[in-house]
Amino acid sequence: MHKMKLSLGLGVGLVAVAAAFFAFQRSSALFSDPAVAAPNPAMMAMPVPVTNIVKKTIPIYLEYSARTEAIRNIALQAKVTGYVQAQLAADGSDVKEGDLLYKIDPRDFQASLDSAKAQLQRNTAALDYARGNVERGTSLASSGYLDKNTFEQRTSALRQAEAALAIDQAAVRTAEINLSYTDIRAPFPGRLGRNQASVGALVTTGSGTLNTLVQLDPIYVTFNPSETDLAVIEQARGKGKITADVFLTGETKPRYSGELTFIDNTVDRLTGTIVARATISNVDRSLLPGQYVRIRLAVREQLDALMVPQTALGSSQFGKYVYVVGEGNKAEMRLVSLGPTDGALVSVEKGVSEKDRVISGNLQKIGPGSPVQPLPPQ
């Protein structure tokens, strides 16, 4: 029995050795066959788009959150008492300087003007009579036919008539002014708000606002640069005017432009900021007071900046990096220090040279030392 078990074990071992031998032979044949040999590393190179570094002069900007303000914003109020006869400009309409906005019933004021003019005519006639009396009295007094007291009375009457005429002329001017107040006109071009005095309502000098009028073009954009930026801004102002571009929320291109026109004279000691504003052209009147916007100031230019596409940037725990085509067409990672952007390009202050070829695509498919096949720059 023991001999049978021994023979069986030897048989199994021989079968296993034979199987291993045949497997080794087969694998040797596979590795020796050129058709199934390991692929050539050069054939596995990843095609990548390559961009040459651009050297150019770029503007340097300071950017802030800002808010729009009207240059002029007034409440339209009555200067005389009367009933609103008409509203000549619709709510929310754009008006020009001098446009008639409201009309107050003028009849009472026209009557006052007519009365003042009549009084003026009467006293003008009295003045003419008093002047004639003095002229006649002068010749009579010189010939002795008129006593001195009578002549002085005539002279006094003339002076009183002249004073009365002056009072009448002032009354006429006052009546004309009051009559003109029945026409409420736009003191500057702008946009009306919501009407607050219906036609037929009695308004007085203390009855409140009829409407509001705001100037929309140009318009202020107010912002708060830090005291650190203030030195840069003042240095730029010393060289000339500072251009200001305004961006609406969510937009990447400026829609409005103007220039910096005001910097306050005190820094807020609590926030370390200062109030500044730019005057912005708003020809289409689409900017309204109170809007939140972004403002960008062009404070200087950077010469010979090395620019790469923003799409070529990658991020790691060590910071921003780019891949360049290194020796032997292998990807070489460069950690970079970035500067200002200019459209789709970003300046690199440290990490690349002007002669480098930057890989601008397929970044997720390559790593440091990966073989790459540069595609011609487009």
End-to-end Cα spacing for the chain:
85
Peptide bond into 39 cis (omega under 30): no
Give the CATH number of domain 46-57+303-375: 2.40.420.20
Closest CA to 181 of 119, 100, 97: 100
CATH 2.40.50.100 fits 78-105+182-214, yes or no: yes
What CATH architecture applies to the domain 62-71+216-301?
A: Beta Barrel (2.40)
Q: Counting beta carbons within 10 angstroms of the beta carbon of residue 215, is it exposed (0 to 12), middle (13 to 18) or buried (19 or more)?
A: buried
HSE-up of 42 (CA within 13 Å, CB side)?
Answer: 1
- Give the CA-trace dihedral at 148, 152, 154, 157, to 10 degrees: -170
CATH number belonging to domain 106-181 = 1.10.287.470
| Ranges of each domain in the chain | 46-57+303-375, 62-71+216-301, 78-105+182-214, 106-181
Distance from C-alpha of 247 to C-alpha of 68, rounded to nearest angstrom: 12
Q: Tokens standing for 64?
A: 């802030």
Cβ distance 69 to 277 under 8 Å? yes
- Would you write out the chain's pLDDT as a tens digit for each of its 378 residues? 444 443 434 344 443 434 443 443 444 433 344 444 444 544 478 899 999 998 888 888 999 999 999 999 999 999 999 999 999 999 999 999 999 999 999 999 999 999 999 999 998 998 888 887 767 667 666 666 666 667 667 778 888 888 999 999 999 999 999 999 999 999 999 999 999 999 999 999 888 899 999 999 999 999 999 999 999 999 999 999 999 999 998 888 899 999 999 999 999 999 999 999 999 999 999 999 999 999 999 999 888 899 999 989 999 888 999 999 988 899 999 999 998 888 889 999 999 988 999 988 888 888 888 999 888 776
Select from 87, 64, 63, 61 the least CA-distant residue to 76: 87
- Assess contact for 134 and 162: CB atoms under 8 A: no
Three-class SS of residue 99? coil
